[in-house]
Amino acid sequence: MRTDTPQTIYRKDYAAPNYLIDTVEMGFDLDPSATRVATRIAMRRNPAAAGRDIVLFGEELELVALRVNGKALGRGDYRLAGGVLTIPGAPAKAELEIETLTHPDKNTSLMGLYVSNGNFFTQCEAEGFRKITYFPDRPDVMAKYTVMLRADRAKYPVLLSNGNLVEEGELPDGRHYAKWEDPFKKPSYLFALVAGNLVCQEETVRLKSGRDALLQVWVEDGNLDKTQHAMDSLKNSIDWDVKRFGLDLDLDRFMIVAVGDFNMGAMENKGLNIFNTKYVLANPRIATDVDFANIEAVVGHEYFHNWTGNRVTCRDWFQLSLKEGLTVFRDQEFSADMIGTDSGRAVKRIDDVRVLRQAQFPEDAGPMAHPVRPDSYVEINNFYTVTVYEKGAEVVRMYQTLLGREGFRKGMDLYFARHDGQAVTCDDFRAAMADANKRDLGQFERWYSQSGTPEVDASARYDAKSQTLELTLEQSCPATPGQKKKQPFHIPVAVGLLDARGRDMPLRLDGAKGAAKDTTLVLELTKARQTFRFTGVSEKPVLSILRGFSAPVVLKYDYSDAELAFLMAHDSDPFNRWEAGQRLATRRLLNLTVAVQAARQSGHVVAVDTVLNNIEHDGALTAALRATLNDQSLDPAFRELALTLPSETMIAEQMEVIDPHAIHVARQFLRRSLARELREDLLAAYRANRTPGDYSPDAGSAGRRALKNVALSYLAELDDPEVLELAAQQDVAANNMTDRLAALSALVNSAAAGKGEALQRFYEEFEAEALVIDKWFTLQATARGADVNTVRTLAEHPAFTLKNPNRARSLIFGFCNGNPSAFHVADGNGYSFWAEQVIALNASNPQVAARLARSLDRWRKYTPALQEKMRLALQQVASSPKLSRDVSEVITKALSN
Ligand code: B3K
Ligand code: ZN
């Protein structure tokens, strides 16, 4: 446990490494209780560096021996303090030999070398390599690695590391060895080893270059019936990267290994990707449509890192979005292309924007707000955030929006031509985009340096006489920690105009040459306020602004309800078509929330429902949703999204002061009234979208299931016997996890008598499937009626453990982040529970603890009574002993910003 006073690291302090490395040779004698690691590093002084010392990082290591050019160093020859080992006065060329001991079975942080279910795994990004050996563990030190693994053959028959297997054989005492060589130089964070009792599905594929590559998916025995989808996704990723970006696999062998204990989703180690089982294992029995889609996305993401991250890596961790934002953008495009259809692409886009708004906008508005390229950090693991990833991906997407697909590709080509094999910065990427397209992207830099979500206020004036439309766009950005004032961003705003019949009008900007032909124009907003004049606008149009969500901003425009319903029915841009419905629903939900609060305040004893039932009925929303639900020309997946109301978190972010309970009551009320009014339409959609026959996870079938199941979830609000019978039947008859879970969820969230038995049956059937039991915990933690006591009881269940990150997330995060009204219960019990869990996790796994710690980020936005209780809980964590750097940073920032 690191308990030293946390230090802040600043981007401006970057200095090149004193020494560069050519080769690294490592020998591992693997043993769960004490693994000996012998490392030989060929170093030479970096002519570009100012300092002369050899600087190595190490954590939780026993140093056994240290030699420079064959000479053993004594305690007087080096300094060791605060995890930094410094060797002064070293020669310009140094062969460094280091022997260390680590204790993998005691490693509960899951960083460095650790044991999961008896097998060895590593996780080195960001700074885990220093838990294996002393090393210049920073991404701008790239080297070629040769790795020798030795272990007991019976217990650890499989020995894997990066690159190619060059030798293997027997050793005395039932041990064996395998030697691996990685032909590419890489930073230490991409090092990996796996040793254990594993089996694999493998396939040889012919690459574009004509070479053959061996693809393998490694899992524990008994899981080979769950690897096909990951293998297919990998092959599709390889093909896609060649087609879209001309990037081929550069290795003879590419491995994916699944592990049950993992802090995040997956890791792109060169040639040896290590994955959370959640993003590998799938078959219809255990995985939902969403799981199948996520596996495709994550397999793609890690594979795409091979070029964007591994061949070209980050100079320092402040540049993390250089590889993450870009690779998320690439995986988003991959998933969209895999669906293929325009409407499928739109559905994917809506999904991605939903994640951004649900998680990144609040981050940008909270105490942990940071630019896409942060200026400082205490613990880098805290900066693997939705801002660096998802907002980072939006920033990359904006290049494509501004430069066009071809221009973007030219920029990518130049980026690789210039920087292959290097560790570079976000500025280098931007320069490649600018130079390849001969564009000035100077102002675009602000997307990297300024935090906060910009707001764009739009207003329009139509002049019938001159047939012109003036669209004025005004941008601003709220203050964020450390950044009071912001400079204007370079914002691409895609705009369309609809005529009275809902058709796109051809667009022409004042002064533009040629006839109007495009129906969407990308306006470039670069000033604080700008007016764009459209000419030849023959009638007063309805505006469709920010089509496709062309920039990660909040768009304010004074739409009338009628205009929104019109856009929802007609906009040719599917994103804005969906968006119009969301705006309408948000408006309604906010009004209802205020009504709930008013009813409570007036001290009425009448049920809030009675009050809500009396407030003016909103026909516009119901009618628009009915029309969408019944519009057979629309993709079922799109209709499902249109029917899904903004989440409670999303509504909360729209409020000046968050009142989670009122939001919950309002949203439930609206769901129930919609279910009542649309009952017959929902039943019809339910029946029409069944997917009989063998299960297939393709987007079309998944979309039909999604629509059918959202219909079921609405209908279950009615608690009527006919509907509950449908759910019960589906629960018994389902041939796939998507339908099974949807049925169970409908039952559990209703007043159905048999829900207890259904839950029990589900548990018994899937007891041996950890990933399904995770779903079982989440379902109950987020169920209507679940409270702190429900979760405390579940935490006592024999299947629950805080030590497994997936399990901890399923129940604890499920409740704290996924059940806002129960978590924010007035007595503050949710917060006490949270504090206990953060403190418990802090002792075993700081990274996971710090994620949970962020559940109270937005505490200052809540009602005063809740705020006070949250502050106490935060202080309780702050004052607990032995706080990790990870948790301490999050809590300190929450309390101070
Ligand atoms: N690069 C890893 C994330 C590592 C997280 C370290 N705390 C996975 C990914 O983004 O592909
Ligand atoms: Zn990534």
* Distance between Cα 478 and ligand 1 center (Å): 29
d(CA 278, CA 258): 8
| Ligand 1 atom nearest 380 alpha carbon | 7
- Answer whether residue 85 is part of any domain: yes
Mean pLDDT of 617-634: 92
* Distance between Cα 524 and ligand 2 center (Å): 30
**For the segment 517-561, what is each residue's pLDDT rounded down to a tens digit?**
899 999 999 999 999 999 999 999 999 999 999 999 999 999 999
| Ligand 1 atom nearest 126 alpha carbon | 6
- The DSSP symbol for 184 reads S
Q: Of the bound ligands, which one is closest to the alpha carbon of residue 110? A: 1
Which of 302, 648, 769, 889 is labelled catalytic? 302
Ligand 1 in contact with 123 (CB < 6 A)? no
Using the predicted structure, report yes or no on whether residue 617 has a pLDDT greater than 80: no
Ligand 1 in contact with 268 (CB < 6 A)? yes
The pLDDT of residue 36 is 98
* Distance between Cα 396 and ligand 2 center (Å): 14
**For the segment 867-892, what is each residue's pLDDT rounded down to a tens digit?**
999 999 999 999 999 999 999 999 99
Residue 484's alpha-carbon distances to 445, 480, 481, in angstroms, are 18, 6, 7
The pLDDT of residue 619 is 84
Share of residues in the chain with pLDDT > 70 (%) = 99
| Nearest in space to 475 (alpha carbons), one of 403, 528, 422, 524 | 528
- Answer whether residue 104 is part of any domain: yes
Closest Cα to atom 10 of ligand 1: 324
Ligand 1 in contact with 302 (CB < 6 A)? yes
**For the segment 484-520, what is each residue's pLDDT rounded down to a tens digit?**
999 999 999 999 999 999 999 999 999 998 888 899 9
Share of residues in the chain with pLDDT > 90 (%) = 96
Instruction: Tell which one of 188, 264, 298, 319 to mutate to probe ligand 1, the residue whose CB is within 8 A of the most ligand atoms.
Output: 264
**For the segment 376-393, what is each residue's pLDDT rounded down to a tens digit?**
999 999 999 999 999 999
Mean pLDDT of 27-44: 98
Q: Tell me which of 132-141, 603-612, 790-799, 869-878 is least confident.
A: 603-612
* Distance between Cα 562 and ligand 2 center (Å): 42
* Distance between Cα 320 and ligand 2 center (Å): 9
Closest Cα to atom 2 of ligand 1: 267
Ligand 1 in contact with 330 (CB < 6 A)? no
Q: Are 584 and 621 in contact (CB under 8 A)?
A: yes
Ligand 1 in contact with 384 (CB < 6 A)? yes
Ligand 1 in contact with 125 (CB < 6 A)? yes
Instruction: Tell which one of 121, 268, 851 to mutate to probe ligand 1, the residue whose CB is within 8 A of the most ligand atoms.
Output: 268
Instruction: Tell which one of 263, 307, 324 to mutate to probe ligand 1, the residue whose CB is within 8 A of the most ligand atoms.
Output: 324
Tell me the residue type at 470.
Answer: E
| Ligand 1 atom nearest 302 alpha carbon | 11
Ligand 1 in contact with 39 (CB < 6 A)? no
- The DSSP symbol for 135 reads B
- Answer whether residue 535 is part of any domain: no
Ligand 1 in contact with 419 (CB < 6 A)? no
d(CA 499, CA 503): 5
Rg of the Cα trace of the chain? Answer: 28
Q: Of the bound ligands, which one is closest to the alpha carbon of residue 851? A: 1
Angle, alpha carbons 653-654-656 (nearest 5°): 90
The pLDDT of residue 3 is 47
The pLDDT of residue 815 is 98
Give the CATH number for residue 99. 2.60.40.1730
CA atoms within 13 A of residue 732's CA, in its CB half-sphere: 8
The pLDDT of residue 612 is 79
Ligand 1 in contact with 324 (CB < 6 A)? yes
Ligand 1 in contact with 276 (CB < 6 A)? no
Q: Tokens 């490649």 map to which residue?
A: 432
Closest Cα to atom 9 of ligand 1: 267
- Answer whether residue 359 is part of any domain: no
* Distance between Cα 486 and ligand 1 center (Å): 30
The pLDDT of residue 4 is 55
Residue 301's alpha-carbon distances to 15, 234, 279, 326, 584, in angstroms, are 30, 10, 11, 10, 35
The pLDDT of residue 604 is 64
Grade residue 12 by pLDDT with cuts at 50, 70 and 90: very high
Closest Cα to atom 5 of ligand 1: 125
Residue 92's alpha-carbon distances to 39, 243, 422, 452, in angstroms, are 19, 45, 22, 46
Grade residue 194 by pLDDT with cuts at 50, 70 and 90: very high
The pLDDT of residue 616 is 64
Closest Cα to atom 1 of ligand 1: 267
Ligand 1 in contact with 301 (CB < 6 A)? yes
Q: Are 301 and 157 in contact (CB under 8 A)?
A: no
* Distance between Cα 249 and ligand 1 center (Å): 20
* Distance between Cα 574 and ligand 1 center (Å): 32
Ligand 1 in contact with 192 (CB < 6 A)? no
* Distance between Cα 231 and ligand 1 center (Å): 21
The pLDDT of residue 1 is 44
What total number of domains does the chain contain? 1
Q: Of the bound ligands, which one is closest to the alpha carbon of residue 383? A: 1
Q: Of the bound ligands, which one is closest to the alpha carbon of residue 326? A: 2
Q: Are 633 and 645 in contact (CB under 8 A)?
A: no
Using the predicted structure, report yes or no on whether residue 6 has a pLDDT greater than 90: no
- Answer whether residue 317 is part of any domain: no
| Ligand 1 atom nearest 265 alpha carbon | 8
Closest Cα to atom 3 of ligand 1: 267
| Ligand 1 atom nearest 389 alpha carbon | 10
* Distance between Cα 267 and ligand 1 center (Å): 5
Burial group, residue 610, by CB count within 10 angstroms (0-12, 13-18, 19+): exposed
Instruction: Tell which one of 384, 390, 890 to mutate to probe ligand 1, the residue whose CB is within 8 A of the most ligand atoms.
Output: 384
Closest Cα to atom 4 of ligand 1: 125
* Cβ atoms within 10 Å of 197's Cβ, excluding its own: 14
The pLDDT of residue 614 is 74
Q: Of the bound ligands, which one is closest to the alpha carbon of residue 384? A: 1
Ligand 1 in contact with 267 (CB < 6 A)? yes
Q: Of the bound ligands, which one is closest to the alpha carbon of residue 266? A: 1
| Ligand 1 atom nearest 266 alpha carbon | 8
The pLDDT of residue 620 is 87
Compute the CA torsion angle 325, 328, 332, 337 (nearest 10 deg). 100
Using the predicted structure, report yes or no on whether residue 605 has a pLDDT greater than 90: no
β-pair partners for 36? 29, 101
- Answer whether residue 822 is part of any domain: no
Q: Tokens 């691409």 map to which residue?
A: 492
- Answer whether residue 140 is part of any domain: yes
**Structural domain of residue 40, as residue ranges?**
1-196
* Distance between Cα 273 and ligand 1 center (Å): 11
Cite the beta strand spans of 330-437 per DSSP E.
376-377, 423-424
End-to-end Cα distance, the chain: 26
* Distance between Cα 324 and ligand 1 center (Å): 8
Closest Cα to atom 8 of ligand 1: 267
- Respond yes or no: is residue 302 known to be catalytic: yes
Instruction: Tell which one of 122, 124, 125 to mutate to probe ligand 1, the residue whose CB is within 8 A of the most ligand atoms.
Output: 125
* Distance between Cα 241 and ligand 2 center (Å): 16
Tell me the helix, strand and coil percentages in the chain, rounded to 5: 45, 20, 35
**For the segment 442-473, what is each residue's pLDDT rounded down to a tens digit?**
999 999 999 999 999 999 999 999 999 999 99
Q: Of the bound ligands, which one is closest to the alpha carbon of residue 330? A: 2
The residues near 212 (Cβ < 8 Å, ≥ 6 apart) are 204, 205, 206, 252
- Answer whether residue 728 is part of any domain: no
d(CA 92, CA 23): 15
Q: Of the bound ligands, which one is closest to the alpha carbon of residue 393? A: 2
* Distance between Cα 250 and ligand 1 center (Å): 21
d(CA 200, CA 197): 10
| Neighbouring residues of the ion ligand 2, judged by CB less than 5 Å | 324, 327
Grade residue 144 by pLDDT with cuts at 50, 70 and 90: very high
CA atoms within 13 A of residue 673's CA, in its CB half-sphere: 23
The pLDDT of residue 897 is 82
Ligand 1 in contact with 390 (CB < 6 A)? no
Average pLDDT of the chain, as a whole number: 97
Burial group, residue 859, by CB count within 10 angstroms (0-12, 13-18, 19+): buried
